[in-house]
Amino acid sequence: MSGKIAVYDPRGYAPKVAGKRLAQRLQNLEGKTVYLVDCLFDNSEVFMNEMKDWFATHLPSVKTPMIKPRESWVDDPEMRAKVVANGDAAILGVGL
Amino acid sequence: MGLTLELEKAGIPAIAIHTHVFARLAKSVATANGMPTARQAFVPQPLVDKSPSDLRAYIEGTDPISKRPFMQEIIEGLTTPLNDNDLKGLSFDRPKTHLLEPDTEDNLRALFEQNHWTDYLPINLPTEERVEAMLKGTSIPRDRIVGRLSPTAFREDWEFDVEKVAVNAVMAGAKPEYFPVILAMASSGITARNSSTTSFAGIGVVNGPVRKEIGMNTGIGATGPYSHANVTIGRAWNLLSANLQGGSVPDDTYMGTLGNPLSYSFVFAENEEASPWDPMHVRYGFKPTDSTVTVFRGGRYMTSGFGPREHWEGKMLRCLTAADARQSPLLIMDPIVAKLYVDRGFKTSMDLIHWMADNAKLPASEYWNEMWVQTLIHPLAVAGVEPYASNLKAAPDELVKVHQPHEINIVVTGGQTQGAWRIYEGTRFKTSTVSVDAWR
């Protein structure tokens, strides 16, 4: 052990992570309501509008209501409840 | 990403779209939330300033990460049956390590650098002897939880105790007598190493008797590297922020595109003795005899001036409106400047703060075109939150106020060799001003 020293680990304590399962997937999107969630980043509304248009052209039976949280980066339980109550699936973008 | 995971938990199949530079970060966040297979699709960076037809090309093009058609990724992400990994998620625990495996000093230094535990300047290795000495700087037990930090709101919070803060304070070269200030900063819950793409830094301001007790410099070179206490306290806040929050590693826990030189160390003390105004901590409800530290997030812009001279108003307003409209100003001025403002009728610093808020204005069209105003304030305005809702109704040429008084702060410091002032970006939060005395 000569020449060796003991030092502390400078890292904090990470939380325990509990695995969570994904929601069951849909068999297909035919006739389903897929919410397009605009996360409010710059130009994401334009992007989501183009995606809505893509669905209207290629998968017209899919309903794609647009929805936005009240603020960027902040959870919006009211909006989430609306998606859960009225939607079959959700596409969120663009940004974390 | 957090919203996607919440929807999944509520039984709604979801897929999140990111630009490709965030692929690693998105995966890391999903894993830390126990859902590593959360569905994600990617488009090229950037989106900003792209036309609708550019964005349509992204949608009809290829996902730059999976190399498959983007819309195929989206549709399959919502419809492909789940596999075993999707159904169980990923549970794991990470060890709570105190001492590392003994090794030579050279090897340990290399280990600390390889793991991104330093700022790449030489550190003091946190030996048991040094950490014990640091812990003598406080009466608080070493296993007391000090707080939690994360690189940004959507990432997991890591926890830390007094001992972990001491380890980082040793690495920064701080002395035990500085430790209560460092503990107070750590307890604020505000990181000096935010992972934002916009490259925030942390700024700290110390008030009260502790400034003199530990030899902080409030004179010539007050904000520069001319005091052991100022420099090492600031460095300790940065090192502990990075290490105690789970990292500040580019392309994972740090995404600031330009980085920020203030992230080495930027902590200073107010020159309360030479200021004609109340110290900053008194404005936030503390007594002059209390010792506090106030932490700000910012440092992405800096403007400067001298005076006030005869036509000071125009210069000051140009500085206030030249900076990003949403980012709060932290005005740092030499005592000479503060006294000259008193001569012009600003009997308190709040008088000047109100003048700044009332007069710094932009045409509404220019204000609303600013990226972060659009992203962060526009939704509030639409929701009816004042004063933003009224600003949204303003005609394009109508002048709207850029800052609210509570967003502006003034600190007086410096050695009176020049009537110099600077405005840094410095956003103060509810938990920003912390008692140092509570950590003695």
Whole-number pLDDT of residue B398: 97
Tens-place pLDDT, residues B264-298 = 999 999 999 999 999 999 999 999 999 999 999 99
- Say yes or no to pLDDT of A1 above 70: no
Which residues from A are below 8 Å from B22, CB to CB? 95-96
Q: Is B214 helix (H, G, I), strand (E, B) or coil?
A: coil
Q: What's the CA gap between B6 and B17, in Å, rounded?
A: 15
User: Is B375 close to A42, i.e. CB distance below 8 A?
Assistant: yes
Q: What's the CA gap between B251 and B368, in Å, rounded?
A: 31
Give the nearest partner residue to A96 out of B29, B108, B168, using CB atoms: B29
Q: Is B258 helix (H, G, I), strand (E, B) or coil?
A: coil
- Taking the CA of residue B327 and the nearest CA in chain A, the distance in Å comes to 16
* Residue of B355, B331, B303 whose CA lies nearest to B412: B331
Q: What's the CA gap between B83 and B186, in Å, rounded?
A: 42
Whole-number pLDDT of residue B153: 85
Q: DSSP label at B263? A: G
* Residue of B194, B183, B212, B229 whose CA lies nearest to B439: B183
Whole-number pLDDT of residue B376: 85
Which residues from B are below 8 Å from A20, CB to CB? 5, 8-9, 33-35, 89
User: Is B102 close to A4, i.e. CB distance below 8 A?
Assistant: yes
User: Is B13 close to A44, i.e. CB distance below 8 A?
Assistant: no
Chain A contact for B379, CB < 8 A?
yes
Return the structure tokens found at B69.
């058609």
User: Facing residues of A35 across strands?
Assistant: A90
Q: What is the DSSP string of B55-121?
A: HHHHHHSB-TTT-SBHHHHHHHHHHSPP-HHHHH---B------BPPPEEHHHHHHHHHHTT-S-SS
Tens-place pLDDT, residues B42-82 = 999 999 889 999 999 999 999 999 999 999 999 999 999 99
User: Facing residues of B400 across strands?
Assistant: B362
Q: What is the mean pLDDT of residues B408-422?
A: 97
User: Is A95 close to B97, i.e. CB distance below 8 A?
Assistant: no
pLDDT above 70 covers what percent of chain B?
100
Q: What's the CA gap between B324 and B327, in Å, rounded?
A: 6
Which residues from A are below 8 Å from B376, CB to CB? 40, 71-73
Q: What's the CA gap between B436 and B440, in Å, rounded?
A: 7
- What's the number of CA atoms in the CB half-sphere (13 Å) around residue B210? 28
Query: From the CA atom positions of chain B, what is the Rg in Å?
Result: 24
Using a 10 angstrom Cβ sphere, with 0-12 exposed, 13-18 middle and 19 or more buried, the burial of residue B187 is buried
The residue whose two tokens read 């830094």 is: B201
Give strand ranges (E) for A1-96: 4-5, 34-38, 66-67, 89-93
Whole-number pLDDT of residue B156: 92
Chain B contact for A95, CB < 8 A?
yes
Q: Is A66 helix (H, G, I), strand (E, B) or coil?
A: strand
Residue spans per domain, chain A: 34-93
Whole-number pLDDT of residue A2: 61
Reported residue count of chain A is 96
Residue B84 vs residues A20, A21, A22, B40, B81: alpha-carbon distances, Å: 12, 9, 10, 18, 10
ipTM of the complex: 0.94
Which residues from A are below 8 Å from B11, CB to CB? 23-24, 84
Name the pTM for this structure. Answer: 0.93
Return the structure tokens found at B432.
């920003």
* Residue of B316, B127, B332 whose CA lies nearest to B223: B332
Q: What's the CA gap between B274 and B334, in Å, rounded?
A: 9
Who contacts A65 (Cβ-Cβ below 8 Å, separation ≥6)?
A33, A35, A36, A86, A87
Tens-place pLDDT, residues B305-362 = 998 888 899 999 999 998 878 889 999 999 999 999 999 999 999 999 999 999 999 9
B 345-374: CB under 8 A from A: 371, 374
Are residues B307 and B339 in contact, defined by beta-carbon separation less than 8 angstroms?
A: no
Ramachandran angles phi, psi of B393, nearest 5°:
-80, -10
Tens-place pLDDT, residues B7-50 = 999 999 999 999 999 999 999 889 988 999 999 999 999 998 89
Of the pLDDT bands very low, low, confident and very high (cuts 50, 70, 90), residue A44 is very high
A 21-80: CB under 8 A from B: 21-29, 34, 37, 39-44, 46-47, 49-51, 53-54, 58, 68-76, 80
Whole-number pLDDT of residue A96: 56
Return the structure tokens found at B295.
């932490």
Which residues from A are below 8 Å from B246, CB to CB? 11-12, 14
**How far out from the chain centre does Cα A9 lie?**
35
Q: What's the CA gap between B72 and A59, in Å, rounded?
A: 12
Which residues from B are below 8 Å from A56, CB to CB? none
Least confident of A8-12, B3-7, B148-152, B371-375: B371-375
Strands A34-38 and A66-67: parallel
- Say yes or no to pLDDT of B366 above 60: yes
Give the nearest partner residue to A22 out of B38, B244, B378, using CB atoms: B38
Whole-number pLDDT of residue B87: 86
Q: What's the CA gap between B355 and B359, in Å, rounded?
A: 6
Return the structure tokens found at B31.
């894993």
Which residues from B are below 8 Å from A40, CB to CB? 375-376, 378-379
Mean of the per-residue pLDDT values for chain B? Answer: 95
Tens-place pLDDT, residues A59-85 = 999 999 999 988 877 788 999 999 999
The residue whose two tokens read 């949403």 is: B326
Tens-place pLDDT, residues B90-129 = 889 988 899 999 999 999 999 999 999 999 999 999 999 9
Chain A contact for B33, CB < 8 A?
yes
Are residues B302 and B229 in contact, defined by beta-carbon separation less than 8 angstroms?
A: no
Chain B contact for A16, CB < 8 A?
yes
